[in-house]
Amino acid sequence: MKHLDEYRDADTARRLAGSIAREANTARRYRLMEFCGGHTHAIFRYGLGDLLPANIEMVHGPGCPVCVLPTGRLDMAIRLAQRDGVMLASYGDMLRVPGSQGQSLMKAKADGADIRMVYSTLDALKLAAANPDREVIFFAIGFETTTPPTALAVEAAAKAQLANFSVFCNHVLTPSAIAAILEAPAVRELGAVEIDGFLGPAHVSVVIGSQPYEFFAEEYRKPVAISGFEPIDILQSILMLVRQLNEGRAEVENQYIRAVTRDGNLRAKQAVSRVFELRRDFEWRGLGHIPYSALRLKDEFATFDAERRFDEPYIASEGNKACACPAILRGAKKPTDCRLFGRACTPETPLGSCMVSSEGACAAYYSYGRMRERAQ
C-alpha cells in the first residue's frame, strides 16, 4: 500500500536505528516525550524501544482522549444516557472505561440505557434523523482531530433543524496539555518529569499545523519533531530530536511534512472557530484543572449543547485510588510502576482508562506482550 509500506521497511529502520545509536551521546540522557497515544502504541507494536540505545528514554504523554477525560465527566455521560427518552451515541473506546461506583457505559447499556456505538459524527446525525422521538446526544470527546467532525455535525444539525440532536462536548486542546506538563504549578506539585524534547502528534498537527509548537521550542527551549504514525516516521523523528539536542538547537521540525503544513487545515480550524469557544476551565485526569484547555459550544448553538439542554451537574470523582493512570498521563510513572498493572487490571478487566483505550499507555504495555512478564 502506497504511503504505508515505505514507512514500515525493516532495512530503513535498521539504518535509522544505526544512525541514532552512533549519534546519541553516551555521556547524556535523552528523555523524549511522545505526546500522542497513537505513537505510544506504534512504539510498542513495532518494538522500537529495542532499537534505541539505553540512554534514549521514551516518556509517554497524555495524548489519549479517553484517558484524560476525568471520571466525573464520564459519570455525567452515563447519567445522561440513563434519562428517559435519551439515546447516547459514543465512540467505541469510551464504552468500557470505568466510571464511579463500578459503572461504565457498557454496564449502563446492559441495564437498559440506550447507548449506541458510532464510528463517526455522521452516524450520530443519522441516528437522530431516524429517531425523531428520541433525544440523541453525541458524546463528543477528543483532541483537535475529532473536534472539526463534531463542528460540522452541529452545523449540519442546525441547518437541518434537527431538534432532537445535541452534543455533550468534552473536546480538549493539545497545546494546553503540553503547557501544563511544562509549567503548570499543579502538575509540578503532583510530580512532573523532566523532558528534553517532544515527538509532536501526527493527526492533531495535520489540523493545527506546526506553528502552535513554536512557542514551546522558543519559550521552553524544548525541541519538537512532528512525527507520522509509522515506525520509520517515529525513528526518523527521534533522530531529528537527537541531532537538535546534540547541536543545542530547540526548533520545531516537521518529519510528517507529507501531511502537516505550518498552518494546518484552515477549513477544519474555521469550522471549529465557527461552532466552539474556549471554556474557562476544564478538569483533566492526571493534569488537574487547566484554564482555557477545552471547548464548549458557542451561544448561537446553545440548543445543541447537551449540558445546557439537560442541566446535568458535574460531580468530581477520584476514580480508583490505586490506579496510577493520573501519574502515567503526566509521564511521571510507567504502567509497570502501577501495582494493578497486569494483575487486577488488564484490557479484559480494566480498572483505569489507560488500560482501556487503544491509545492508552497501559494497554500498549500489555497488549503487545512486551511487559507482561513484569506483571507476574
Partner 1 sequence: MKIVALTGPDTAKVSLGGIVKEVSIALIDDPKVGDYVVLHVGYALAKIDEVEAERTLVLLAAEGADAIAEFSAAAEAVLAPP
Binding site for partner 1 (CB under 8 A): 1-3, 6, 12, 15-16, 18-19, 22, 91, 119-123, 142, 145-146, 148-149, 152, 203, 206-207, 232, 236, 239, 255, 257-260, 265, 267-268, 271
What's the min distance (Å) between Cβ of 217 and partner 1?
21
Q: Which is nearer to partner 1, 13 or 355 (CB)?
A: 13
DSSP string, 172-185: B-HHHHHHHHHH-H
Copy the grid coordinates of residue 8. Answer: 514500515
Residue 120 or 246: the one with the smaller Cβ distance to partner 1 is 120
Question: Shortest Cβ distance from residue 271 to partner 1 (Å)?
Answer: 7
Contacts of 325 (CB under 8 A, 6+ apart): 67, 285, 286, 319, 338, 352, 353, 354, 362
Q: Roughly how many angstroms between the first and final C-alpha of the chain, as a whole number?
A: 39
Backbone angles phi, psi at 118, to 5 degrees: -120, 150
147-159 vs 121-130: helix crossing angle, rounded to 10: 30
**C-alpha of 298 from chain center:** 23
Choice between 1 and 54, CB closer to partner 1? 1
How near is the Cβ of 242 to partner 1 at its closest, in Å? Answer: 13
Query: What would you report as the CA-atom Rg of the chain, rounded to the nearest whole angstrom?
Result: 21
Can you say how many angstroms the Cα of residue 160 is from the centroid of all Cα atoms in its chain?
Answer: 31
In contact, 116 and 88? CB cutoff 8 Å: yes
Distance (Å, whole) CA 201 – CA 37 = 9
CB of 298 to partner 1, least distance (A): 19
Q: Pick the closer one to partner 1 by CB: 152 or 324.
A: 152
For 163, phi then psi, to 5°, come to -70, -15
Quote the least distance from Cβ 267 to partner 1, whole Å: 5
- Nearer Cβ to partner 1, position 38 or 319? 38
Helix (H) or strand (E) holding 289: strand 288-291
- Residue 264 CB, shortest distance to partner 1, in Å, is 9
| Nearest CB to partner 1, comparing residues 16 and 43 | 16
Nearest approach, Cβ of residue 187 and partner 1 (Å):
28
For the CB of residue 83, give the shortest distance to partner 1 in the complex, in Å: 25
Instruction: Please say whether the beta carbons of 332 and 192 come within 8 A.
Output: yes
Choose between 182 and 259: whose C-beta lies nearer to partner 1: 259
Amino acid at 207: V
Structure letter (DSSP) for residue 222: -
24: left (phi over 0), alpha (psi -120 to 50) or beta: beta
Q: How far is the CB of 162 from partner 1 (least distance, A)?
A: 17
Residue keyed to cell 492533531: 204
Pick 91 or 301: Cβ nearer partner 1: 91
Q: Closer to partner 1 by CB, 105 or 187: give it.
A: 105
Parallel, antiparallel, or unpaired for β 252-254 and 86-91?
Answer: unpaired
Query: Checking phi first, is residue 19 left (phi over 0); if not, alpha (psi -120 to 50) or beta?
Result: alpha
